[in-house]
Structure 1
């Protein structure tokens, strides 16, 4: 398997800036949520700066304290000695007056830096992309230096789901490419399990975090706070959101509950907490088999179009930076890292270009070996 020491050059023409913001607010459960957010954005010059560091060593070091990781993997996980393709605190590009906004949601137990390749690609194409560190369910370092690891409660909720006898029994019955009725019933059976409820609570809090950060971006655009984004963010056609794994649940919840978001993408995610939800937004699922069984209710309920694309020869973590950084072959699928990156970036940017920028080309026009449109739904 080919190894890399630098992330790929961005697909777009913009130089990519990155800045970090610390935020906090009182959530609906009366907890204080202390967040961090990395914002990737288009710029015109690197200003002679060195590229941004990839991931804080202190954050990587917290992996050894995560039961989610230590219970299933041994040895090295991935490298953080990677050269990125973005630069800290550049000026926002002057080429356009305003830039559309996207959010990226990392997987549970992950870090907001884990989507650096995709966020950099999207920013190089003219999007402002926000990746948040969520309390309890992700690990991160704030600008003020404080470290946050995955909580014991979140770890226990995810482990309980994976070890639940009813969940294991259902997983053993999941078919590859099932017919629609079978897939929908399987998905409903999974989502009705009592063990799902606790997992869903954390995702709902992540969705609340995203809505709060979206509020903050509106304030930055309005000039209520000093920022390079004053008057520069394009909200007229709404915002987009993409999430990997556990982050995909949050993505769907945000689409369902916040009309400021126009469309969303789930990368090898599921539908926990979405049993009877009409997202009312275009939604794309890019996944490995047999994950249709875990997402079938989304398209069955959604009154807007839902795309299901199956990708062969991939592993679950191939949808994030670990496709490049992995130091453990157990984490990787069979596709070359560059090939997989091109699949994820192309489907993501084409989907958002179509629904946010009203560009003519849609994901229907894309063709990759082993990437198959399993189903496209639109309910009236």
Structure 2
């Protein structure tokens, strides 16, 4: 497998700008939440600036504080100095009056820049993408330089969820795609397990983070909060949201609880609200394991629902990690067998097509998309 020193060129015609904004609010559990958010957006020129750093210098050591507890030294695995295709604090493009907005939700214990590739692709195609660092559940650096760590309690509850007897009991049978009734049985077991029920509270809290930042976007659009986005956000069509892993679980909860979010996509994440009817279009892009765990959702959601199942992939394949491995041997230990560029093309194509259809109301036939080793299951709107 090939290694990379730069991310692939974005798919669209816009130059990609990126800016960082911090937020603070009090959540429903009365905790004070300090968040940071990165905005990837369309621009007309790089203004002669160098490309933005992928992540902050302290990320490897900060991430290791959590990961080494699992025997993983992530800074030895990944090249966090990879070259991006975005530029800090550019002017927003003047080609359109306003641009649609989607949120990206990073995976548990990771960081807000975790899927820069897809964020760049969507921004280059005319979307504004907002990705938040979630306090306690990820690692990030605030604009003033302070670092936010994964909380001890979050990590302990994550460990408990991962070692839940129900999860351990079903894990050996998840690799092969199961028949519908068996997969529904597995979905119900995993979703209702004590570890899942307990850990779901963090997805609810992260959904509050997203909804608060969405509140701020409306104020940015009116100018009540100063930013480059005054009168430039196409919020009347609704907001989209997508996320990886635990971020995918958060995505579904946001769609369930907030009517401003009109559609969502889950990248290989186990859902905690599978028995909920989101009443909105939703897509799951995942592995066979993901299908076996999340099949119940196809029965529960009354909006148009897609399950796109990719073969020869593992959980780390749904994001930047496919381009970050430092050497071929590490890729083989952390990756599935799909080519990184092929996989990026699949994920970006489905993601853009979905948002184009359900946000921009373009005539897009998602069912007509075809890739080797990819199966689509679609359930039409009830």
For this pair of structures, how many residues does the alignment match? 377
Instruction: Specify the alignment match of 2:165 in structure 1.
Output: 165
Q: Verify the 8 A CA contact 2:78 2:325 in the aligned structure 1.
A: yes
Q: Does 1:276 align with 2:278?
A: no
Structure 1 residues without counterparts, runs of 5 or longer: none
Tell me the CA shift for residue 74 of structure 1: 4.5
Q: Does 1:248 align with 2:260?
A: no
Q: Verify the 8 A CA contact 2:276 2:301 in the aligned structure 1.
A: yes
Aligned pairs for 1:40-189 within 5 A: 40-66=40-66, 68-74=67-73, 76-174=76-174, 176-189=176-189
Tell me the CA shift for residue 355 of structure 1: 0.6
TM-score, normalised to structure 2's length? 0.96
Q: Secondary structure at the match of 1:195?
A: helix
TM-score, normalised to structure 1's length? 0.96
Instruction: Specify the alignment match of 1:347 in structure 2.
Output: 350
Tell me the CA shift for residue 379 of structure 1: 5.5
Aligned pairs for 1:212-227 within 5 A: 212-227=212-227
Structure-2 separation of matches of 1:69 and 1:13:
41
Instruction: Specify the alignment match of 2:379 in structure 1.
Output: 377
Structure-1 separation of matches of 2:359 and 2:200:
28
Tell me the CA shift for residue 144 of structure 1: 1.1
Structure-2 separation of matches of 1:354 and 1:236:
16
Tell me the CA shift for residue 164 of structure 1: 2.1
Structure-1 separation of matches of 2:259 and 2:296:
21
Tell me the CA shift for residue 70 of structure 1: 3.7
Instruction: Specify the alignment match of 2:303 in structure 1.
Output: 304
Q: Verify the 8 A CA contact 1:299 1:305 in the aligned structure 2.
A: no
Tell me the CA shift for residue 290 of structure 1: 2.3
Q: Verify the 8 A CA contact 1:110 1:138 in the aligned structure 2.
A: yes
Structure-1 separation of matches of 2:179 and 2:59:
43
Q: Verify the 8 A CA contact 1:300 1:379 in the aligned structure 2.
A: no
Q: Secondary structure at the match of 2:289?
A: coil
Tell me the CA shift for residue 69 of structure 1: 4.7
Tell me the CA shift for residue 264 of structure 1: 0.4
Deviation larger for 55-64 or 109-118: 55-64
Q: Secondary structure at the match of 2:40?
A: strand
Structure 2 residues without counterparts, runs of 5 or longer: none
Q: Verify the 8 A CA contact 2:164 2:193 in the aligned structure 1.
A: no
Instruction: Specify the alignment match of 1:320 in structure 2.
Output: 319
Structure-1 separation of matches of 2:366 and 2:156:
38
C-alpha distance after superposition, 1:48-86 (max 9, x if no partner): 1001011111122112210x4541424712111111000
Instruction: Specify the alignment match of 1:204 in structure 2.
Output: 204
Structure-1 separation of matches of 2:113 and 2:173:
35
